[in-house]
Structure 1
Amino acid sequence: MRNNNNTVCAADTGGHGGLSKGLSSRQITMISIGGVIGAGFFVGSASAIMAAGPAVLVSFAIAAVLVVLVMGMLGELATANPDTGSFSTYAQQAMGRWAGFAIGWLYWWFYVLVIPLEAIVASDILGHWLGIPSMLVGVGLIVGLTCTNILSVKNFGVLEYWFSLVKVVTILAFIALGAFAIFGALPISSVSGVGHLWNDGGFAPTGIPGIASALVLALFSFTGMEIVTIAAAESEDPRRNIRKAIRSVVWRMLIFYFGSIFVIVSLVAWNSPALANGSFQSALEAMNIPGAATIVQAVILVGVASTLNSAIFTASRMGYSLATRHDAPRAWATTTDKGVPRVSILFASAGALVLLVANYTLPQSVLVPLIATIGTIALVMYLVIAISQVILRKRAIARGEVMRVQFPLFPGLSYLTIALIVSFLALMAVVPGHQMELLVSSILTGALVIVGVWLQYRDRGASSLSPTSVAE
């Protein structure tokens, strides 16, 4: 094993390889919290509310149950073997090289797409404020956050800590204001009580179809929590940090998601035209909070910057992991003297920049199919995690090993989780507006699986490659 600067190092049993351990426990905790509050929640929750009415709470509850189950399964695997490749590595261990290759590249593509999409939202806000062309602002944001990621992982950790802290404080302040308004204790508010939960056509005015439509939107709002298992591999005590983050995911969902959504549907009618401006803005305006639009835009900007920062980090680490397993260009696995996969970061950001420029220069008919591939990647990722957990847990039992953290009620609850994920995928096939996402994502996933299988059969020796093998 070589451990010099700018060389590809072996991924040791802790999964760190040539990467640094520069993230503190405090930063890991805040990253895991921030991962729960994505920019999509601030922007997209209004669509879910308009689709299901107050019953959107049911949609979020169902989605939350699935995500809690999946994160529990991932927590079992990650505490047993912390690795920057996370579920991609576990898929390879469980099912073979083809599975690790396919889900790894699918996830890399997901976050390379997320970078320009988040940059577009941020550039529209900043461009309007500063009077600068949006494309230039977007390029500047990507380049700036790329540079901070390249310098050291500590820079990523520090930025994400403060971004996450702002989001957490904002959500808690919003819930506190909403609670005062609901109980009639906010003098400036023009609304109070929880009458909107049933006064505007009932609790579920659009019935089961509305709940189903909001369910798909709610599920995608939770995407990002798995990042903690990738980031924790670059901390001093990854197993402890992962275990701590996974255990706290339930109460975070309860407070941040259900608390804020409950405030919104209590104070704003689900069919109110004000929701077109965004759910959080409509609620603040109903409470007569001065400068509601500016406040929400500022928070969205922070949320977007946070997601963009995390996306660069996550895509680069998945690229690094793929390279150490010989499934990506070898140069992506080289690290600087500070343990940063600089080449992998640059390639992820370069791909994002190409997509960003294409957004402003090419017809939307060219980009829409690409953006649609985001649709089912989260569900495919969850399915791979669940299948990997079943296979690897059974192998551990056969060897007489006891997992450090055990997913409960095995194997029954694991199979139930798999059935739920498959049901979600089937739901996308019938919910209006999601068929294209399912189709395009399925084609991309199928193509990657075919390539992965071909690679595995081309070099049968590579199918036994594990994170503990020496990467050249």
Structure 2
Amino acid sequence: MAKDENDKIDKDERLSANELTLVGLGAIIGAGFFLASSISILNAGPSVLLGFFFGALIMWQVFSALAEMSVAHPTSGSFRVYAEEALGHFFGYLSGWMYWVAGVLVMSSEVTASAIFTQWWFPNTSLWIFVAIYSLLIIGVNSLGVKDFGKIESFLAIIKVTALILFIVLGGLVFAGIFTEIKDIGIQNYFRHGGFFPNGFTGLFSSMMIILLSFGGVVVVGMTSSETEEPAYDIPQAIKRIVFTLLFLYITSLSLLLALVPWNQISTDASPFTLVFRLVNFPYAGSIMNFVILVAALSAMNAAMYAVTRVLASLAEAEEAPAILADKNEDGVPFYALLASSGGLVLAVIMSFLLPEKVYEYITSAAGFILFFNWIIILFSQLKYRPILEKKFRDNFKFKMKGYPYSTWATIIVIIAILLGSAQNFEQLVGLLGGIIIILILTVFYFILYSSVQIRDYL
């Protein structure tokens, strides 16, 4: 009887397909889309629509590769475990630590951004106070069980999705001339001011790195997928819902934005989405958009904290981090790994205040490079892991990535091209070099660790 009760409790603590979908949307739709989309628009012009469509296809491929492995072999270590089993110990170590470093840097930028957004309402309050409050809040949420985390992240995701739907509805009404008559609106704005490709294909290509950042949180879904009720059903369902929801929200909102506001009138000083609210004289437009962006930043930070904590615990289980980091509390949370990740967050936030603004932008762009380099490792893992799945996990091998192995190879080549193409932009070039340096440092530490283990075993 006790066993049945425990099983019931365990099942009650797991995520459903709907909750996994909302967690995924919460992790992916971050402040980057609401703010950084202006950078992509200025680089690519109206062709940014193709860029987001293409970015969604790339995400789908990475998502499908990760889902194939997650359905057949659900594990809290997710991509780190698959890389180790498919490519070897070094790649498992590298994948896990790369994601942890990148995740901590991303969290620090999100919490700093959250503090800046809040200071918009309270300009006389010191920035560090909001940084401390939001850091403690995210740590508190992640100290709860996965079910509570899923509920909170789902709630934040609903706010962001609702805001984008509201934007689409308002934009559609403005486009139809319901609120006010505005000259020079319509799809003709896609072809004015330099045409659909005002900066050529080079402009679109150079914007792809920033566009991919709008999909960067997809790996969090892999981390949570092991805690779903029925992985074989929930994960494929979540993939379809997340990809199609993102395509609708991103493409529709940007299509309306570019039809209502000429692309060359968009500024990087504020979210381009506030422009439509201003067109209709929507009351408290600034506060509403600021609140939505704040929620987006906190939600992305919350999901990132969940993922880096699980990755660090997985590294500890593989003896690639202190063993105590693998210990879990009664809610199944690796609490010491959470504290360690929080310590890294504090360090990164301090760096954000000490270093000049541009230097910190370089560091966060390096984090983006590391995240996408990890996508390449995930895809290579899937290439090598498919035969293992068919042999060892045949009964659970119920989801297969379409077009294997050609689709996997094609996605790898495209991501590599985008990473190399980012060197056209100076800030992204610095991020590229910074990411390479971080990978080299992690590699050196691996061989130091591996050598010390060999010496210990020999003695």
TM over 0.5: yes
Contact 1:179 1:263 in 2 (8 A): yes
**Where in structure 2 are the equivalents of 1:22-421 lying within 5 Å?**
22-130=14-122, 131-187=124-180, 192-272=185-265, 276-364=269-357, 367=360, 370-396=363-389, 401=394, 403-421=397-415
**Identity rate of aligned residues, in percent?**
29
- Cα distance in 2, alignment partners of residues 310 and 400 from structure 1: 29
Structure 1 outlier segments of 4+, above 6 Å: 188-191
Distance 1:165 1:273, change over 3 A: closer
Total equivalences in the alignment:
445
- Cα distance in 2, alignment partners of residues 65 and 401 from structure 1: 28
- Cα distance in 1, alignment partners of residues 409 and 235 from structure 2: 23
- Cα distance in 1, alignment partners of residues 452 and 381 from structure 2: 23
Gaps of 5+ in 2: 1-9
Distance 1:387 1:292, change over 3 A: same
* 1:10 aligned partner: none
Q: CA deviation at 1:285?
A: 1.7
Q: CA deviation at 1:373?
A: 2.3
Distance 1:273 1:38, change over 3 A: closer
Q: CA deviation at 1:446?
A: 2.6
Q: CA deviation at 1:460?
A: 7.6
Amino acid at match of 1:343: Y
- Cα distance in 2, alignment partners of residues 350 and 239 from structure 1: 36
- Cα distance in 2, alignment partners of residues 454 and 145 from structure 1: 34
Amino acid at match of 1:181: V
- Cα distance in 2, alignment partners of residues 198 and 369 from structure 1: 33
Amino acid at match of 2:190: L
Give per-residue Cα distances to partners, 1:126-161, cap 9 Å, x unaligned. 123133211111111101221222133333222111
Give per-residue Cα distances to partners, 1:153-192, cap 9 Å, x unaligned. 3332221111001011111111121122222233476774
Q: CA deviation at 1:260?
A: 1.0
Work out whether 1:441 is the aligned partner of 2:428.
no
Moved more, 408-417 or 233-242: 233-242
Amino acid at match of 2:97: W
Q: CA deviation at 1:235?
A: 3.0
Q: What is the CA RMSD across the aligned residues, in angstroms?
A: 2.6
- Cα distance in 1, alignment partners of residues 327 and 391 from structure 2: 37
Secondary structure of the residue aligned to 2:27 is: helix
Secondary structure of the residue aligned to 1:277 is: coil
Contact 1:37 1:256 in 2 (8 A): no
Contact 1:53 1:205 in 2 (8 A): yes
Q: CA deviation at 1:90?
A: 0.6
- Cα distance in 2, alignment partners of residues 311 and 379 from structure 1: 15
Give per-residue Cα distances to partners, 1:101-121, cap 9 Å, x unaligned. 111011011111122211111
Contact 2:35 2:268 in 1 (8 A): no
Contact 1:175 1:263 in 2 (8 A): yes
Secondary structure of the residue aligned to 2:226 is: helix
Contact 1:79 1:404 in 2 (8 A): yes
Contact 1:323 1:333 in 2 (8 A): yes
Give per-residue Cα distances to partners, 1:20-78, cap 9 Å, x unaligned. 94444432221122233111101111111111111111221222221111111111111
- Quick check: which one's helix share is greater? 2
Distance 1:289 1:196, change over 3 A: farther
Contact 1:98 1:451 in 2 (8 A): no
Taking structure 1 as the reference length, the TM-score comes to 0.87
Give per-residue Cα distances to partners, 1:354-394, cap 9 Å, x unaligned. 22133224555774554342131122111001100110113
- Cα distance in 1, alignment partners of residues 303 and 238 from structure 2: 16
Contact 1:75 1:405 in 2 (8 A): yes
- Cα distance in 2, alignment partners of residues 261 and 374 from structure 1: 26
Gaps of 5+ in 1: 1-17, 463-472
